[in-house]
């Protein structure tokens, strides 16, 4: 695996092949998409900070299985290499940004039951070929251009506020995962 430093504590690597991503997205119309909310301790709320849809990774069984395998072989070693840190648990969702979809600057960290539930974030782009949709890191003054199968990892906390730029045309699909 080749690990690339995008910006301060933002790393990228190829997680899935383009052909695998294309085959997974062929079934995306049958996934249980619903309006995405913003998660705060104990609940999900809806606000204008986000315009996209999401579904649980269980709706895409081949992707969940492949991610679990890649997690053991690629993601966990990458996180240990970047931050000398071992993952105890992970959660993941699939997100679809239609034309006009976005997510304003935010952080992924939030406490759950008095303990941090998200320490490291991962975004894997499942497609490209749309206009807009870069992942923008405010403090690092850096934007990542989506490429099919490419994953980025970064701290989930206040050092890495990030945004998903609005989609000018087409649709963007990502696998988002968080590790603690």
If you average pLDDT over residues 168-172, what whole number do you get?
A: 98
The structural architecture, per CATH, of the domain 4-179 is Sandwich (2.60)
Closest CA to 167 of 126, 133, 127: 133
Closest CA to 175 of 109, 104, 123: 123
Least confident span in 11-20, 48-57, 83-92, 166-175? 83-92
Six token digits for residue 158: 């206040």
- Residues counted in the chain: 180
How confident is the model over 133-142, as pLDDT tens digits? Answer: 999 999 999 9
Helices (H), the chain: 18-25, 61-70, 76-83
How confident is the model over 38-64, as pLDDT tens digits? Answer: 766 666 777 788 999 999 998 888 899
**Predicted TM-score of the model (pTM):** 0.93
Query: Taking all residues of the chain, what is their mean pLDDT, rounded to a whole number?
Result: 91
Q: Which residue has the tokens 């490429």?
A: 147
């Amino acid at each position: 695996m080749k690990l690339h430093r995008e910006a301060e504590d933002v790393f990228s690597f190829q997680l899935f092949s383009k052909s695998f991503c294309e085959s997974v997205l062929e079934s995306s119309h049958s996934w249980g998409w619903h309006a995405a909310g913003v998660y705060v301790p104990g609940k999900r709320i809806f606000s204008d900070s986000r315009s996209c849809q999401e579904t649980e990774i269980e709706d895409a069984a081949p992707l969940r299985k492949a991610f679990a395998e890649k997690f053991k072989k690629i993601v966990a070693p990458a996180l240990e290499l970047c931050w000398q840190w071992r993952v105890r648990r992970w959660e993941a969702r699939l997100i679809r940004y239609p034309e006009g979809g976005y997510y304003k600057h935010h952080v992924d960290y939030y406490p759950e039951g008095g303990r941090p539930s998200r320490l490291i974030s991962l975004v894997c782009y499942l497609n490209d070929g749309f206009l807009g949709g870069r992942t923008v890191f405010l403090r690092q003054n850096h934007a990542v251009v989506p490429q099919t199968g490419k994953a980025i990892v970064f701290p989930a906390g206040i050092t890495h506020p990030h945004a998903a730029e609005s989609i000018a045309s087409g649709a963007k699909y990502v696998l988002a995962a968080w590790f603690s």
